[in-house]
Amino acid sequence: MPALKVGASGEGRESIGAMGERVNSKADQVYDELKEAILAGALDPGAPIDKIALCERLGVSRFPVSAAVSRLAFESLVVIEPQHGSFVARISGAEVRERMFIRRALECEIAAEAARRLPKDGFLALEENLARGREAVDAGDRPRFYAQDVGFHQVLTTHLGLHRSSEVLDGLRTHLERVRRMLMLPQGRIRETLAEHSEIVAAIKAGDVGRARAAMDRHLAVTAENFESFARERPELISA
């Protein structure tokens, strides 16, 4: 193959750059689609990932697919077994419990801090979030409610200026997202979550530090309890 010549104008460099961007764009497309399928439960833990089928369906070469799978393996969502293939990672019970433990400790104190000093625009953002959450529940729109659920907790850290705490929670949330969606599959749980959010907001608006902390603790305790029930019912999806 002849060497690629780079002219004085940099045309060759631009071609290489454009080619790299196209490859990255395709890898990002595969990554986004595959990650969403895993998080949404369309691919069960332990399910094999058919790279050839992905290439054919998305109209891409093997490289973007392999790059996306490697990226998901780094995020512990995929397990690559040499000579055997790639599989959706089973949910680590130990990791979920520890991440829930950390999140609970941090979010309870954030709720307490919000009761002490959340500014007016923070209250307005919480009320708007609750309103949009109700709309999503009434419409049976799960994806929209999932977004509002995440947004509810982000409102607190954003309006309190707790940027480092927000980064920590975002990292925890990424690893807990698959579990969160599985636990919210029953429609009743979505309504319960909305009611729990409303109680947290009421406590914060009242400026009751202890009540706000307790309301957040109850909210996250339910999630932990539901995970244990889920782990007992579907042990094949959970690793130790």
More confident residue, 218 or 223: 218
Q: Which residues neighbour 67 within 8 Å (Cβ) at sequence distance 6 or greater?
A: 23, 27, 30, 31
Residue with tokens 């369906």: 57
In which element (H, E) is residue 78 found? strand 78-81
Contact 200, 123 (CB under 8 A): no
Separation CA 137–CA 188 (nearest Å): 10
Q: Is residue 49 helix, strand or coil?
A: coil
Nearest to 181 by CA among 40, 3, 14, 6: 40
In which element (H, E) is residue 239 found? strand 238-239
Please provide the CATH number assigned to the domain covering 11-89.
1.10.10.10
Residue 110 has pLDDT above 50, yes or no: yes
Segments in the chain forming alpha helices (H): 11-39, 51-58, 62-74, 93-117, 120-139, 142-160, 163-183, 187-205, 209-233
- The residues spanned by each domain of the chain are 11-89, 92-239
What DSSP letter does each residue of 81-126 carry, written as one string?
Answer: ETTTEEEEPPEEHHHHHHHHHHHHHHHHHHHHHHHHH--HHHHHHH
pLDDT-based confidence at 58, cuts 50/70/90? confident
Q: The domain at 92-239 falls in which architecture?
A: Up-down Bundle (1.20)
CA angle 230, 149, 118 (to 5 degrees): 130
Please report the pLDDT score of residue 55 as a whole number: 92
**CA-CA-CA-CA torsion for 114, 120, 124, 126, nearest 10 degrees?**
0
Nearest to 84 by CA among 37, 49, 45, 38: 49
- pTM for the whole thing? 0.77
pLDDT mean over 212-226: 96
pLDDT mean over 21-35: 80
Residue 233 has pLDDT above 60, yes or no: yes
Tokens linked to 176: 């807990």
More confident residue, 21 or 130: 130
Segments in 40-92 forming alpha helices (H): 51-58, 62-74
